[in-house]
Every structure is written in C-alpha cells, then in structure tokens.
Structure 1
Amino acid sequence: MKTPNGLQALIDDGVIDEVLRPLKSGKEAAVYVVRSGGEVRCAKVYKDMAQRSFQQRVQYQEGRKVRGSREARAIGKATKYGRRQQEAAWKNAEVDALYQLRDAGVRVPEPHGYFNGVLVMELVTDAEGFAAPRLGEVELGAAQARDFHAVLVRQVVRMLCSGLIHGDLSPYNVLVGPDGPVVIDFPQVVSAAGNNAARTMLLRDVNNLTAYLGRSAPELFDTWYGEEMWALYEAGELRPDSALTGRFVHDTRRVDLDSVRDAINEAREEAIIRQQGREAAAEED
C-alpha cells in the first residue's frame, strides 16, 4: 500500500520496515499494521488538532502536568506556542500512560516507542493471529461476561492505584486477545488526584462496562464496583489486589439511587452512539 505521510519518516529512519495495511481510523488517530525488525506491530498516527473534534478536551486535560512554567502560561493564554505545547502534551499523554500502566501490571498493548508523533506498539491478536476484535464486537455467554467484567474491574483498580482513570472506557476501547481483555486508547486519560471530574469519569467507565456485559449477565446490573473502589481510593485504602465485593452502601441523603442506575442504561446508549460515530468516521476516511 502507499505509505501514509506520517509514517514515511519512520521508514526513512529505519524504525519500521514497511506498512502492511490500515487497521482502523477515527477522529483522533489512524492505526496501521506495520513490520518492524521482523515483528508485525501497529503504528498509531495522531491527527492534527485541526482535524480532530474531540469534545470537552479541556475537562480531560485538567490536572495534567506540562514541562515547565513557560509552557503552562502559554497554554493558559492559548498562544500559538501554547497550542503547540498543548497538542504535544495531548499526544504524549497516551504514550506516558501506556508505559506507566504496563509497569503497573495493567493489560495494555506493549509500547515500543514514540517517534515523530507516531506511537509504535504491540499488535494485539486473537488465537489465530489476526487482529483482535473489540469487546463490543464479540458475543459472550453469561460466564464469560462475568469473567471479563472481573478482569476489567481489576484493570480499572490498577489504573486508579497508579493515579490514572481511562476517561473514555467502553466495549470499543477493549480488545479481546487469547488471554482475555486488553485495554486500549488512552489519549483522554485523566489524573485521579488532579481532575475535579475524576470520580464522575471513573464511574462512567465502570458503568459503560457494566452496561454492556450486563446484557449477557444481568446480575452485574446490581453491582457497584465503581463506587466501592472510589470510596477505598479516597480513604487511601485501595490496593491493586484489594478484594472488591461489588456491594456499596450509598448515603441516600446525597445520592438518588434511581438516577445512578439510570446512568448505567444511559452509558449503554452512549456507547452505541459513539460506535456509530466511529463507523461513520471510518467510512468518510
């Protein structure tokens, strides 16, 4: 295939040998299957800010660190230099998160480097060696849905213990490999301690998973893992191996339980809408 402009520099520098085929394309980035040093990997080429339309970007960037005070002031003033720094910080967020989460034992693709705005990483495959399907594309029985839910809740716990929240977790940001779910796509990663919306985003992430997997195992709808792990996190008691029950006693003076449960159903609808948007974007490309 014709080499995309974003990958030609990596070929010239010997980072990758050839581009085999496109894997997927969305509003934020395009991913290609490449050959590098005899290994088949994938390369994620981030699109320029002008080409992207991700909503509520500022909300996700709250709490992220920048290199220095000059950069922070420039970003705050939205100068041309500041916009370039903001763009670089947005791209670096996923790279940094992947290395941090891999070291924390989270199931993520193995990163192999970041070159000229391109993230080269492991190509997650299925048992036959083909590109792994997304969780939202897989039919599950009740037992498998429960198992996947337990695995993914544990990944969310490990992320939170590392100080990070995915921020956009859904069945379409999870791949199903031979050993189970692998979490992908971290450009919207959120600082658990530095973002005022951290709790809301954590609960939404967990609710998205529960909404989808609960279709196969309805008893999951009566679990409250997000609330339970956040309460432990706030108390400084959450550990990567903390035993969770899925039970949580709400303060009914502060929480409308019906609204919380409705949020799970809304999360399911939101996941469907997002997927339709991704498919429409892919068709346009």
Structure 2
Amino acid sequence: MTLHAIEVFRDLEDGDIRFLKDLEKASKRFKWVPEDRLSIITEMPLQDARYRLSRLNEFELVERGVSKYAGYKILPSGFDVLAIWDLVNQDVLEAFGKALGVGKEADIYDALTPSEETVAVKFNRLGLTFTSVKKKRSYEPEREWIDASKSAAKKEFRVLKKIHPEVSVPEPVAQNRHVLVTGLIEGDELANVADIDLPEPVLDEILANVLDAYKLGVIHGDLSEHNVIIKPDGVVLIIDWPQWVSTNHDEANELLERDVNNILKYFRRKFGIERDLNETLKEIKS
C-alpha cells in the first residue's frame, strides 16, 4: 500500500488533497462519512465534491460503502498520501527510493531530502495485531489502526528526540500522522549476523546504550536481537522504540529485566558469553 501512495501522489491536484483532508477530519466523527454530507463538510458544490470523490476513488485512496446510508472512508493509502504530501511540502522529503523492509507493523523506505541526504521513512501499520495494546503498553485508548499508528509514530519521535545522540539510535528528522522520518538505518539485524569476530565488545556496547537510555529515564520495552542493528562500521544502532516506557512506569523494572535478559540470552546461546542478569541490572540501575 505504501508503494501505491508513492506512485500516485505526484498525480494528485491541490483540490484532491484539500478534499482528502476534509474527509480525514470528518472521519473523526463518522466511520463512514455520509455521502450527502460531503458537500457541506468540504464546502464544495455537490458536483465538485463528486468529481473529487471520483478521482480519489480512481486512485484507490478512498472506499465507498453502503449499509444504512452511502458513505466514504479513507483507505490506508489515502493516509499515506496525506503524510507524504505534507512532508514534501514541508521540505522534509524530495523523492523516494527502495523499500528497506515491509512487515506486519511497519513499511520502511529510503528517501532523499531536498538537500540530497538519504533518510528512512517508516509507515506505521499497527492494524489488528494492535488490539491488545492497552493491556501492554502506555498508549492512549485508540480504536482505529490509524490512530494507534499515529500514537506510535508520535511516541517514537518523542523518545528519539529525548535520547539522541546520547544513545545510539536513528536521528529523528520529522513525524507526520503515522509516518516517522529518521536518519538512514544501514546495517544488518544482530539476529541476521552470522558471526562476529569480537562479540563481547558488541554486547558491552549494547548494554552501554541500555544504561545511557536508563540514565535519561527511558527503557526500550521490547529490546531483542531483532532491533539491534550492526552498522557497516561495526557500531551498534538500537531501533524500534514505540514501546518505550519511562523509568517511573509501574512495570519499568520488569520491562528492563526482560530487555536485558533477551540480549544476554541471545549472546549466551549464539556466542557462549555468560553474564549474570542480576549483576548486569544492578550496574544499569546504580
């Protein structure tokens, strides 16, 4: 879906975007925005509103539904287009490149800024897998995937600004709706690195970053070998922070212990390195 939005947004007119933004606002009140209200909501003559709907439907950015009444809702690609449009017009993004990763919870692409710097663009997609989020994480009680994804993007952007550059994380660049823009993420997941010549210093570097984040009042909350990146120069980069919690959180100790234990277990299993969990936690908290 992200690729579709990237392909079509240059073909859209200002009027399409204005209409789509009005539909976005109305979506906060209606699951399906009534067709007969769209002219009033958008302050457009009915004929013009129908023209815009026809174009947006042709671009597969909105969907029409009929139950008790005929109505429209924005598709995920429509929200993608709105975020891309704003980021381009705010001079954050200039052009998109290749997909860096497509998963259940996010699609990530590289892109160029107007100054020709390469950045990573993360489209959060938390969908149905996010239904139990209120039981596990400190998110507002959102219902729709877009609201949950916006919350995740805002939360991750906020923590990256808080801990970068003291902690080795992607540099925060911008956030719009469910989309997060950061410095380019280059390297391989620790889980995918077949061998490391000197694994112990890598473990030390990961734990040092956990310590630095803790000193700043932050716990990752979902740390594992899958969100530790080994960059081409060997430096560790820790990614995927939307589940972070404050060190004052009710479950802070449990989450910190889980984070550290995940890393220690991986290095024990993969490289035969033994570290005592309790001693490591004591060092981080001291």
Query: What TM-score do you get using the length of structure 2 for normalisation?
Result: 0.64
* Residues 1:57 and 2:119 are matched in the alignment: no
Aligned counterpart, 1:151: 205
Which ranges of structure 2 fall in alignment gaps of 5 or more residues? 8-76
Q: How does 1:130-209 map to 2 (within 5 A)?
A: 132-141=187-196, 144-177=198-231, 178-194=233-249, 196-209=250-263
**Structure 1: distance between partners of 2:132 and 2:142:** 19
Task: Sort the Cα spacing of 1:85 and 1:229 in 2 relative to 1 into closer, same or farther, 3 A.
Answer: farther
Report the number of matched residues. 207
1:99 corresponds to which of 161, 183, 189: 161
Task: Indicate if the aligned counterparts of 1:60 and 1:189 stay in contact, CA closer than 8 A.
Answer: no
Aligned counterpart, 2:175: 114
Q: Secondary structure of 2:236's match?
A: strand
**Structure 2: distance between partners of 1:226 and 1:55:** 34
Shift of 1:145: 1.4
Aligned counterpart, 1:40: 118
Shift of 1:180: 1.6
Task: Sort the Cα spacing of 1:16 and 1:85 in 2 relative to 1 into closer, same or farther, 3 A.
Answer: closer
Identity %: 24
Superposition RMSD in Å? 2.8
Task: Sort the Cα spacing of 1:190 and 1:175 in 2 relative to 1 into closer, same or farther, 3 A.
Answer: same
**Structure 2: distance between partners of 1:211 and 1:144:** 17
**Structure 1: distance between partners of 2:132 and 2:158:** 21
Query: What TM-score do you get using the length of structure 1 for normalisation?
Result: 0.64
Task: Indicate if the aligned counterparts of 1:27 and 1:52 stay in contact, CA closer than 8 A.
Answer: no
Aligned counterpart, 1:242: none
Which ranges of structure 1 fall in alignment gaps of 5 or more residues? 65-74, 126-131, 239-285
**Structure 1: distance between partners of 2:170 and 2:142:** 35
Task: Indicate if the aligned counterparts of 1:206 and 1:225 stay in contact, CA closer than 8 A.
Answer: no
Query: Which of the pair has more CA radius of gyration?
Result: 2
